[in-house]
Amino acid sequence: MRPQNLSATLVVLVIGAAIPRPAVSQNRWEREVQRQLQRAVNAVTTNARRSPLFTKTGPLNEEEAETFLVTLERGVTYSILGVCDNDCSRLQLLLATQSNELAIDRNSETLPVLRFTPSATTVYRIRVVMEGCRWNPCWYAVAVVPVGKNPP
Does residue 125 contact residue 55 with C-beta atoms inside 8 Å? no
Task: Quick: pLDDT tens for 71-129.
Answer: 999 999 999 999 999 999 999 999 999 889 999 987 778 889 999 999 999 999 999 99
Structural domains of the chain sorted by starting position, each given as residue range(s) with its CATH number in brackets: 24-149 (2.60.120.380)
| Residue 62 confidence (pLDDT) above 90 | yes
Q: Is the pTM of this model over 0.85?
A: no
Rounded to whole angstroms, how far apart are CA atoms 151 and 101? 25
Name residues whose C-beta falls within 8 Å of residue 81's C-beta, 6 or more positions apart in sequence: 37, 40, 41, 44, 111, 112, 113, 142, 143, 145
